[in-house]
Chains A and B, each alone.
Chain A
Amino acid sequence: MRKKQLTIAVTGLNNIDSPGPGIPVIRSLIASKEFSFRIIGLSYDSMEPGIYMHDLIEKTYHIPLPSAGQQSLLKRLEYIHSVEKIDVIIPNFDAELFNFIKLQSKLLEMGIHTFLPTLKQFEERHKSELAEYGIKYGIKVPKSKLIYSVAEIPNLGFEFGYPLVVKGKFYDASVAYSPEQAISIFHKISGKWGLPIIIQQFTPGTEVNLTGIGDGKGHLIGAVPMRKTYITDKGKAWAGVTIDDQQLLDIAKHMVKKTKWRGGFELEMIRTDDDEYYLIEINPRFPAWVYLAVGAGQNHPEALVKMALGEKVISSEKYKTGRMFVRYSYDMIIDLKEFEMISTLGEL
């Protein structure tokens, strides 16, 4: 049987040491037995390696940074769509999701489908809102507090004890073992990501993660739990293994049912020695290790495309445990001409 052909545009092509999910999402799509995907890359920077991976991506277009606003993104997408006739866009960065969520009805009018969380779902799981989220949906979250000045740090020891975790509003987190360290981390993170800074109780245990997808009606369409087995100095998984963790799956099912989560997501949790689970973060998109789910028997990006196109997808609970991923770095040799093209024309 001939596979159905679809054109999918994907962001997050920064397959670097802190990788974006774009390339793993594309590899998942290419693994589809049902569809034949033509992939269009959407990039922000000429150094995103995915731009030059011509075996995976047919053509890449620069798009404006999220800070440029929705209108300039829409204008650029209108042009790209006029050339490429995009069926589905899969955005893979937290920072760009707001614009894509706001534009989704306009994109649909153009014939471009998406399958994104609602604005409410996206906003209420922000790191700064997580404590409230935990109370609302009955998920344990470590105690946390927002601070706006280093003057608040000396008193934190009484409230949280040391060590404690200092986190940025969007990215970055470090463990501080003393007020001096907390002050230094505060300056480092706030300088990069702004205020407020989130102070979180340190929860000892093992970090476990789950990649999943919800249908927007309360059903968990697929979920695969993973434990990182090798972590980089940036805290990113360089290797991981699928695990049999029913409690984590139950939490994901509960979260999706209660929030009616729509689209891909990642749960980052700490499992304590007493088998208590604490939510550290919800990422509102697929993680960079989503291709492991394909290796374990579930293709979440393919399911997302089907749901974006209004097709019915049946929930899948089966996956193989003990499937591992190990990342590697690879030097591509590219002609300067290619760099010139994407840098000057914004297309390659």
Chain B
Amino acid sequence: MKTDWKPLMQRVSSEMIKSIVVSLWFVFLTFPLMVMKIRPLDQTIEWRWMNLVYVGVGAFFLSFVWRYLMARKERGSEKDEGDSWQKRIGMKIRSDKRISVSGLIGVGIFVLIFPFLFSSYQTSIMITALMYVMLGLGLNIVVGLAGLLDLGYVAFYAVGAYFYALMNHHFGIGFWAALPFAGGLAAVFGILLGFPVLRLKGDYLAIVTLGFGEIIRLILENWNELSYGPSGIAGISRPGFFGFEFTLQQHTVYLFYIMVALVALTTIVVSRLRNSRIGRAWIALREDEVACQAMGIDKTRTKLTAFALGATWAGFVGCIFAAKTTFINPASFTFMESAMILSIVVLGGMGSIVGVMVGALVLILLPEYLRAFSEYRMLAFGASMVIIMVFRPQGIISGIRQRYEFRKQPQQEVSP
């Protein structure tokens, strides 16, 4: 009987020691932040020893949870369980029309009554989230499908925003007239960026696109005659609706519906592109550039269409952003924005449309609803990002390829 207990006791004690080490390490790390509080006025230091205990005990128990999850993940990846679990659900939804259709109707109804259920503040946050959904879907073409790491995506967003702002400021052109041209101009800029980077891949491409994003921002900041510099452009018109006069609240609701329609449009277009001749060429380019060319695909044209079509959506969203805030300046188009949009794509799941949507909603809404934690907000946000990436490196929802079914005769092809 004694011999049975020995290995278990050993294991327990080794786990305990691990956790104690972890908790001591965390106590040490957080000591200056959590325990010491300096009062500069009377030049004293307050010692909050209770916090030390909280951190120690908390880290002690959380380290058990962490190790348990890591062990489970390792077992899961051995059996490739996580993927097949997701695959099965994905297949179920795809194969069963009733689930997908009723799900879609449910989401649709919720979205349509959203502005009446929640306050105008909530609606406004949701508009922002939807804008990022669209940006994410656009960048997903470039990064997720064509595999071109673009760190300067915000440049196209800025192009769209400044195009509408300047047109409105100088010529009084309305939102709806400017919207298609904002997208078009962004596409032109996409091609302009595309040409010099045709030969670049991976890290090198990332550096050049990063530079491109910064160049656009610096131009906007310094070319006072064109962009009014850091002081920006104010008094941009909100979107019109056949000359109706809206209150501010009505404007928010109206913009919300515009965003919903545009996101729906983007989703349809991107999902169709993804399973088209061009979309397959993008993915082939991502998978193997040499083989892709050897199979008769023009690399230059494929890369340029990816950059142009990705940039178009950023142009649209830029135009909406200018109309929403009615004021823009270069501070809105920093590298942080590019990084945020890229995080949405990577966290959500590269190449997956639903994944990008979930990613955008999580990354934009989480910091808003974490406001309750006040100063720990960004800490919690960062921690949740790290946790998602540790446990789901392929993103929250990974892309599923289209399936084809063949009966005995190959002529009878059914694609879901």
Q: Tell me, yes or no, whether A binds B.
A: no
